[in-house]
Structure 1
Amino acid sequence: MPTALISIGRSGAAAARASLELTAQNIANASNPDYARRTLDQSEVVGSATIGLNSANSYGGVRIGTVARAESELVQIQFRSATADLARTDAEMNGLRGAETAIEQSRLFESLVDFEAELVRLESDPLDPVLRTSTLETARQLTNTFQLANGSLAKNRDLLQSEITASMQNAQGIADELARTNAELVKVRDGTAAKAALLDARDASLRDLSQQFGIEVQFDDFGTANVSLAGTPQVTLVSGANAATLGFAADPEGRVEFNVDGQAFTPSSGALSGRQSALDEMAAMQVDLDAIASQIITSANAAQAGGSTSSGGAAPAFFTGNSASNIEVALASGSDIATAPAGAPVGSRDVSNLRGLIGALSADNGPAAATDTLLLGVSSRISGLDTRRDGLSIIAQSAETALLTATGVDLDAEAAALVRLQQAFEANSRIIQVAADLFDTILALR
C-alpha cells in the first residue's frame, strides 16, 4: 500500500508540474497573436486485481498524455477571408487617395477656370497688350499644371508598383516558410510541444499570406497546409514542401498582371488585389487626364486656325503636344492670340473668334466639366470604398474575436488553473510524504 501511494503521488505531482509549466506558457504568450492555447491530456492509470472469483480495478495514479492545441478550422477560414477582404479594400482606397491628391493638389480645375476667366477678361478689351500677356502667362501656368498633375499621378503609380514589389517578395517569403513548416510537420510526432509550435507557425504564415492574397487551404493528416490562391483562375501556391514562384509584370500604362510559376491569374482579394485594382483605375484616370489636355490643345488650336491676330495676320498654333505630359504653349507673344475671325482688318475689335473658344471651354462637355467629372468620379469611388471598409472592419473584428475566444488565452481562467494546479502539486507531495511516513512506521514495527 505505501508503494502504491508513492506511485500515485509521484505521477500526480508529475502531471501537476507538467500542467503548471503548460499553464505558465499559456500566460506568458497571452498577447502573442501567433500562439494557440495548450492543454495537457491526462488519463487514469488503471490496474486489475483478482481475488477468488471476484475482480476489481485498481487505480494507480495519472498518466500524462499529449499536448492538445486549441484550434477551430471554421473560425480560421472566416478570419482569413475577412482579413483578405479588408486588406483589398484598404489597399485600393489608399492607392486611389494618392491619385486623388495628385490631381487635386495640382489645382488643375482651378487653372482651367483661371484660363477661361482670362479669356473672358481679354474679350472686354481684345487689343490691350497687358491682357494679352496675362492670358498667355495663364495659359503657360495651365500647361505647367497639366505636367504637374501628370507627374504626380505617375509618382503615385510608381509608388504603388513599388509596394506591389515589396508585397510580392513578402508573400514569396511566407510561401517558402510555409513549405518548410510543412516539411517539418511530417517529421514530428503528434501531441508534442514541437508539433504545437509548428502548427502555430503554420497558422501564422497562413494569416500573413491572407493579408496579401485571398487563399483557400486544405490540411492533410499531418497538419500540412496546401494553399491555393483565390482568383481567376485558381492557382496552387504551396503543395506540401514545395512553394511556387510568384511574379508580376507591368504594362506601359502601369497596369500589373500577376503570375504563379508563369501562369497568369487575377486575385480576388487581399492587399495585392486592391493595389492591382487601384492601378487599373489610375490608368483610366491617366487616359482621362490626357483627353482633357488634348481637348484644350485641339480647341485652342482650332480657334487660332480660324482667326487672325491683332495685326490682321494668320494666327499660329496656341499649344503643342497631345497629352498632359507634353502640352506646351507655342505662342511667342500675346499679340498672336487670334481674337478676331479670319480676314479681319488690323486692330479689329471683333471678338467672335475668341467668344467661340470661350464657348468651347465652358461647354457642358468642355475641359473644366471633364476635370470636375474626373475628380467627382474618384472621390465617389473612395467614399464607397470607405463605407465598405467600415463594414468589413466590423466583420474582421468579429472574426478576430471569435478566433481569440476559440484559440486564445483567457488570463482569468489560466490564473485560476494555476492556483488549482499548485494546490494539486502540494496535495500530491503530501501523499508522498504520508506514504513515506507509513512505510517508515511499518518498518519500525517489531
Structure 2
Amino acid sequence: MASDLISIARSGTRTARMALDVAAHNIANASTEGYVRRTVRLEEIGSSNGVTAAGKLTLSGVSLGGVIRNADAYRQSEVRRTGADVARANAELEGLKNIEVALEESGLYDGIVGFEASLKRLESDPVDPALRAGVVEAARAMASSFNLADNALKASSEGTLFAAKTDVDQVNTLAAELGRINLKLSRSPVGSGDQASLLDRRDTLLGELSQKVGIHTSIGTDQNVEIRIGDSSGPLLLSGFTSSPFTMTTAADGTLSFAVGGTAVVPGAGSLAGHAQSLDMASVVQGRLDDLAVEISTIFNNSQAGGAALDGTAGSPLFGGTGAADMSLLFQDGRMITTAPAGSPANSRDTSQLAALNAALTSNGVAADMDSLLFDVSAAVSGRTVTRDTLVTIADNAEISFRAQAGVDLDEEAVNLVRFQQAFQASGRVMQVASDTFNSILGIR
C-alpha cells in the first residue's frame, strides 16, 4: 500500500536528512566567495490506487523536489555590469596617474621656465661667459627633462600594455573554462547539488570575465550560457561548448584594438576598455610633448641661423632630434649662442637677436603650453577619480542587493537546522507509532 504510515515516515526522514545536509552546507560555505545560498523544494507525494474511489488522490509522503539556488538573474547581471564599469574606471585612472607622475617627476615645466630665465639673464650682459654657460646648461637640463618625460611615458605605456595582454589571455582562458562548464551542465541532473555547484562556478567565472571586458549573457533552458562582447548584438565569445579567440592588436602609436573571432569590437567596460582609454590618452600626451620639443628647437635654431655668435661668426643650431625622445644639444660652447644680428662684429653687445628670441618664446607660449598639458592631465585624473568613486558606490549597492538575496544568513540556517531536525525526529516517531500499532493489531486474539 503506497500510502502506509511506514512509507510516509520513511519519505519524511529521507527528505529531512537531505534538507539538513543543505542547511549544513550553507553554514559551512557562508564565507566562501561566489557561493549562493541553497534552499530545498519539498513536494507532497500523491498516488492513486484501486482501493480508493476513482480519481481520488491519497497523500503518500514528501519528496525533495530539488535544490534551489537563491540567485536572481537580474541582480547577478547588475553586479557584473557595475563591476565591469568599476574595473574600466580603475584601469583608466591608474594609467592616467602614471602619465601624470611621468610628466611631473621629469621636472619638464621647471626646465622650460629655467631655460627661458637663463636667456633673460643673458640679455642683461650678452658677453658674460658665465651667463652664456648658464644658457647652455639650462638647455641641457631642459633637453634631459624632455628625454626623461618621454622615457617615463613609454615605461608607463609598456606597463599598461603588459596588463592588457595579461587580461586578453585571461579572457580566452575564462571563455574556454566556461565552455567546459557548459558541457558539464548539459550532463548534470536538473535540481541536483552538482548542478548548483556548477552554476556557482559558472557565475563566479562570468564575474571574473566581466572584470576584463564588458559582456552580455543569455542563459538557455539547460543552464548553458551564451556570451557576447558588449551588448546583445556584439560578436559571440562563447556559444555552447566552443569559444572564439579574443585578440588584441597594438598600433604604432601604442593604442589598442580588439577583435573576437576576427570581428572588430570596441569594449565599453572592463579593465581592457580602461587600458585602451589610458593608452589613447598617453598617445595624445606623447604627441603634444613631441610637438613642444620640436617647437622649442625650431624657434631657437631659427634664431641661431639669423644671428651672430660672440666671435662674429654665423650661428649654428643648438638643438638636434625629432622629438622629446632624442632632443639633444649639438654644441656645448656658450660663445656660440647668438645674441646679436647676423653680420655684427665680435663681442657685440647688441641684444636685438636675443630679444627677438625671448619674444618668440613668450608669444608662442612655450611654458604655458607645458603648463596646459600638465593641467589637462591633472584635470583628467581628478575627473576620472570622481567618476570612479561614483561607480564604486553604485557597484557596492548592486552587490549588497544581490547578497541580501543570495548570501547565507546564519540565524536563518540555524532555525532550519532545528526545524528539519524536528521533522526528522517526528518522522521517526511516526515510524515507531506505526510499528506499535501493527504489533497491537497482530497481538489481538
* Structure-2-length-normalised TM-score: 0.95
TM-superposed CA distance for 1:418, in Å, is: 1.4
1:141-186 deviation line (CA, Å, top 9, x unaligned):
1111110000000001111110011000011100001111112221
CA–CA distance in structure 2, aligned partners of residues 106 and 441 of structure 1: 98
Comparing 151-160 with 6-15, greater Cα deviation is found at 6-15
Comparing 137-146 with 76-85, greater Cα deviation is found at 76-85
Comparing 208-217 with 29-38, greater Cα deviation is found at 29-38
Letter in 2 for 1:306: G
CA–CA distance in structure 2, aligned partners of residues 420 and 21 of structure 1: 13
Tell me the secondary structure at the aligned position of residue 332 of structure 2: coil
1:286-311 deviation line (CA, Å, top 9, x unaligned):
10000010011001101111111111
CA–CA distance in structure 2, aligned partners of residues 277 and 53 of structure 1: 75
Q: Which sections of structure 2, spanning at least 5 residues, go unmatched?
A: none
Letter in 1 for 2:424: F
Q: Cα–Cα, structure 1 residues 11 and 53, in superposed 2: closer, same or farther, change >3 Å? A: closer
Instruction: Say if 1:7 and 1:60, in contact at 8 Å, map to a contact too.
Output: yes
CA–CA distance in structure 1, aligned partners of residues 40 and 215 of structure 2: 32
Letter in 2 for 1:388: T
Q: Cα–Cα, structure 1 residues 63 and 309, in superposed 2: closer, same or farther, change >3 Å? A: same
Q: Which sections of structure 1, spanning at least 5 residues, go unmatched?
A: none
Please name the residue that 2:289 is paired with: 289
Please name the residue that 1:42 is paired with: 42
Please name the residue that 1:168 is paired with: 168
CA–CA distance in structure 2, aligned partners of residues 396 and 444 of structure 1: 71
1:374-423 deviation line (CA, Å, top 9, x unaligned):
11111111111111111111111111112112322222211211122222
Please name the residue that 2:368 is paired with: 369
CA–CA distance in structure 1, aligned partners of residues 362 and 228 of structure 2: 53
Tell me the secondary structure at the aligned position of residue 64 of structure 1: strand
CA–CA distance in structure 1, aligned partners of residues 100 and 75 of structure 2: 37
Tell me the secondary structure at the aligned position of residue 264 of structure 2: strand
1:14-33 deviation line (CA, Å, top 9, x unaligned):
11110010011111222223
Alignment of 1:188-227 (within 5 A): 188-227=188-227
Q: Cα–Cα, structure 1 residues 385 and 232, in superposed 2: closer, same or farther, change >3 Å? A: farther
Moved over 6 A (4+): 49-56
Please name the residue that 2:385 is paired with: 386
Comparing 401-410 with 218-227, greater Cα deviation is found at 401-410
Q: Cα–Cα, structure 1 residues 232 and 21, in superposed 2: closer, same or farther, change >3 Å? A: closer
Tell me the secondary structure at the aligned position of residue 293 of structure 1: helix
Letter in 2 for 1:212: K
Alignment of 1:225-244 (within 5 A): 225-230=225-230, 234-244=234-244
Tell me the secondary structure at the aligned position of residue 23 of structure 2: helix
TM-superposed CA distance for 1:427, in Å, is: 2.2
CA–CA distance in structure 1, aligned partners of residues 114 and 53 of structure 2: 111
TM-superposed CA distance for 1:361, in Å, is: 2.2
Structure 2 residue 98 is matched with structure 1 residue 98? yes
CA–CA distance in structure 2, aligned partners of residues 345 and 232 of structure 1: 77
Tell me the secondary structure at the aligned position of residue 325 of structure 1: coil
CA–CA distance in structure 2, aligned partners of residues 42 and 413 of structure 1: 18
Comparing 181-190 with 103-112, greater Cα deviation is found at 181-190
TM-superposed CA distance for 1:436, in Å, is: 3.2
CA–CA distance in structure 2, aligned partners of residues 278 and 117 of structure 1: 34
Please name the residue that 1:263 is paired with: 263
Q: What is the percent sequence identity of the aligned residues? A: 39
TM-superposed CA distance for 1:52, in Å, is: 9.0
CA–CA distance in structure 2, aligned partners of residues 101 and 54 of structure 1: 85
1:115-147 deviation line (CA, Å, top 9, x unaligned):
111111212221111111122111111111110
CA–CA distance in structure 2, aligned partners of residues 15 and 444 of structure 1: 32
Letter in 2 for 1:400: E
Tell me the secondary structure at the aligned position of residue 64 of structure 2: strand
CA–CA distance in structure 2, aligned partners of residues 232 and 188 of structure 1: 27
Please name the residue that 1:418 is paired with: 417
Letter in 1 for 2:103: I
Alignment of 1:336-351 (within 5 A): 336-351=336-351
Please name the residue that 1:60 is paired with: 60
Instruction: Say if 2:229 and 2:265, in contact at 8 Å, map to a contact too.
Output: no
TM-superposed CA distance for 1:371, in Å, is: 0.8
Alignment of 1:180-191 (within 5 A): 180-191=180-191
TM-superposed CA distance for 1:225, in Å, is: 0.8
Instruction: Say if 1:111 and 1:145, in contact at 8 Å, map to a contact too.
Output: yes
* Structure-1-length-normalised TM-score: 0.94
Q: How many residues align?
A: 444
CA–CA distance in structure 2, aligned partners of residues 205 and 333 of structure 1: 65
1:348-369 deviation line (CA, Å, top 9, x unaligned):
1121211222222233x42211
CA–CA distance in structure 2, aligned partners of residues 139 and 267 of structure 1: 44
Tell me the secondary structure at the aligned position of residue 287 of structure 1: helix
Instruction: Say if 1:146 and 1:325, in contact at 8 Å, map to a contact too.
Output: yes
